[in-house]
Structures are given as C-alpha cells and as structure tokens.
Structure 1
C-alpha cells in the first residue's frame, strides 16, 4: 500500500498525526505528484490551519493544472472564510477540470446563494440531487431556492423529498408550512408548523408563524 493510501486510512480513522506523517513521506518520495500535496492540505484543513492548507493546494495546482480535487478543496476553504468570489472560481474550475460530483455542484450552488444569485444556483442544485438523490440538505436547499424564485409547487416536491430522507428536518417542515400558507391552505400550514415545533420546540419562526395563523382563524 502506498503512503497516500496509508494516510487516507489514518484520516478515516481520525488519526490526523499519523496521516500527516504518511502524506509527508508521500511528498518526499514523489515531490512532483500533486496527490500528496492535496492530501497533506486536507489534513491541515482538518486541523484548522487553512492558510497553510491553501499553500499545499496551490502547490498541487502548480504541479498539475488539472488536479480538480485541489480546486475543490481550495474552494471549500474560501467558502468557509466567506470569500465567495474566490470559492466560486475554484468550484467552477474544478468542474471544468472534470470534477463531476454532487458535492462540487452543491458547493458551487451554495456559493451563488451566498452571493445573492439564486437563479444561477438552481441548475447546480438540480445536478447535485440528480447525482446524489439521498442528500437531504441538497434537497432542502434546492427547495428553498425554488421557493425564493416563486416556484412554489416545485419547491414543495423537494421539501417533501428532503423529509423522506430526513424525517426530523424541522426547517423543511417550517418551509413547507410557509408554502402551504402561501397557497392559502391554513390547515396544512398549521400542521407543518406544529411538526417543526414537535421536532424543535424552540423553532422561533415556526412558533411565530403558527401563532399568526391561529390569531387569524
């Protein structure tokens, strides 16, 4: 087993120190291989040293301009530091370099959401759930963006699918309630708000919305 595989195994076990040693050895053995640098960057990112991790990802890009995983990993770091413009560039580059994964499409979509460009996020959320139908969070975010763009019926379909995967998703129930309220179905809206509160009793938005409907009845 090569050093990169050993390091990945250590990472999966949560042993970051041994993983770092293995990836360090991998870099020493193959200094022109981008994989070791990406993996070492991933350890540094997991340890919270984002600045140093970024240097390793950039080194990987220098060694192999088509190292899609390096762009994706760098994008995640930029996203975490709320540098959405650079995150967008990295996720888009990863996609152009052939990274056809639900995670990359989802992160690119969420970058657009955070940039206030929901319409641009839509196709990437759609692709994300096509590639991973069981991703509850992607379904939820897809539903939210659809609702924000006034595609209420389509949004409800995604929120329902989110709840099929994750039955205790209080925010999905809350947003379903909002959708039913928008469609003037107060009874169903109340039912959804109550389900959100059953799961999360301190859900302020659901509590307020429920109160609002009850005072109108």
Structure 2
C-alpha cells in the first residue's frame, strides 16, 4: 500500500511538471511569434487542464495570428464560459466582429469589456470606433471622450475623435489630430496635412 501511494505521488508530480513544461514552451513560442508551435503545446497543456483560462485565450490569439479566426472565436467563447469577467476575451471577440464589418456585434462585445473595466481606454476606444463605423456618432464621440479621459496619451482616440469632429464640422478636430501627431500616431501627420493646413 505504501508503494502504491509513492507511485501515485510520483505520477502526480511527473504529470504536473510535464504540464507546466508544456505551458512554458507554449508561452515561449507564442512570445517569439511561432504560433503553430505554440498551439501544439497549448493543446498538450489543455489536454491535462481543459479549463485553463489563460492557455485557452492564448491559443485563441495564436489561431487569430495565423488567420484561423473560427478556431480563435471558439477559444474566446470558451474563455468567457470559464470566466465571464475576462475583458480580453470580449475585446478579442469584438475585434473579430469588427474585422467582419459587423459593427453592431462588435460594439456589443466592446461594451461588455468596457463595463468590466470602465477605466480601460482601449475598450472605450474600440467601442467608439464600432459606434463610429455603425453611424452612431453621438455614442462614438462620448466614448472617444471617455477613452481620452482615461488615458490622455491615447493617440488613436484623439485621431478618430478629430476626424469625426471634422466630418461633423465641429471645432477642435485639428487640435485632436495635432495631439495624435504629437504623440506619434502613424497617419496623423498625413491627416493633419490633408484637413488642417
């Protein structure tokens, strides 16, 4: 009986070490941009811990980087099943809808992320962009304002708020684009030269 306990303990430790090793390898490959290899080791890890939230999310991100969007969506939805408060999973789902030009559903997912973290400038910016694209300009302006209030270095929010102000013939658009330019946002200088010079 004593030997059986020892064998079970040894197997448990061995399995745990192997599982941790797979996760470390997966994360290492993910961080170096080797997404196919990362997926292989995330799969290995998830065979032992199928409800591991971070591994599932990272595997979804790896699928997304490879353009395997349907597999990524399955993982993001699984993450939400595991933890309905995972802001990143909602943001990633929203980005997929946005990529598909389904701006209503993108806004729905971004709003869920924003409600989980009202201090998130990123969630507010993405929500504003989805509203902007779906023609809900008042909502878009509100969330661009929130994004900038949450992070006054959010160049993307300044740029798109400025563009929206110019489109609506409101004052301050060029000031916003200038701010985006000063922060160093790509494309801000071209936009400034086109509309503000």
Which position in structure 2 is the counterpart of 1:173? 193
Which position in structure 2 is the counterpart of 1:71? 90
Give the TM-score of the pair, scaled to structure 2.
0.78
Which position in structure 2 is the counterpart of 1:163? 181
Which position in structure 1 is the counterpart of 2:4? none
Match of 2:106 among 87, 93, 104: 87
| Local SS of the residue matching 2:50 | coil
| Local SS of the residue matching 2:67 | coil
Match of 1:101 among 120, 131, 137: 120
The RMSD of aligned alpha carbons is: 2.3
Q: Deviations over 1:182-216 (max 9, x none)?
A: xxxxxxxxxx2xxxxxxxxxxxxxxxxxxxxxxxx
TM-aligned CA deviation for residue 44 of structure 1: 0.7
Structure 2 vs 1, CA of residues 107 and 62 (structure 1 numbering), >3 Å: closer, same or farther? same
Given that 2:177 and 2:191 are in contact with CA atoms closer than 8 Å, whether structure 1 keeps it comes out as no
Q: Which segments of 5 or more consecutive residues in structure 2 lack a partner in the other structure?
A: 1-19
Structure 2 vs 1, CA of residues 175 and 5 (structure 1 numbering), >3 Å: closer, same or farther? farther
TM-aligned CA deviation for residue 46 of structure 1: 0.8
Give the TM-score of the pair, scaled to structure 1.
0.72
Q: Deviations over 1:13-62 (max 9, x none)?
A: 21112221232233223212322221111111111111121111111111
TM-aligned CA deviation for residue 165 of structure 1: 2.1
Given that 1:105 and 1:124 are in contact with CA atoms closer than 8 Å, whether structure 2 keeps it comes out as yes
Given that 2:103 and 2:130 are in contact with CA atoms closer than 8 Å, whether structure 1 keeps it comes out as yes
Structure 2 vs 1, CA of residues 108 and 77 (structure 1 numbering), >3 Å: closer, same or farther? same
Separation (CA, whole Å) in 2 of partners of 1:2 and 1:125:
43
| Local SS of the residue matching 2:194 | helix
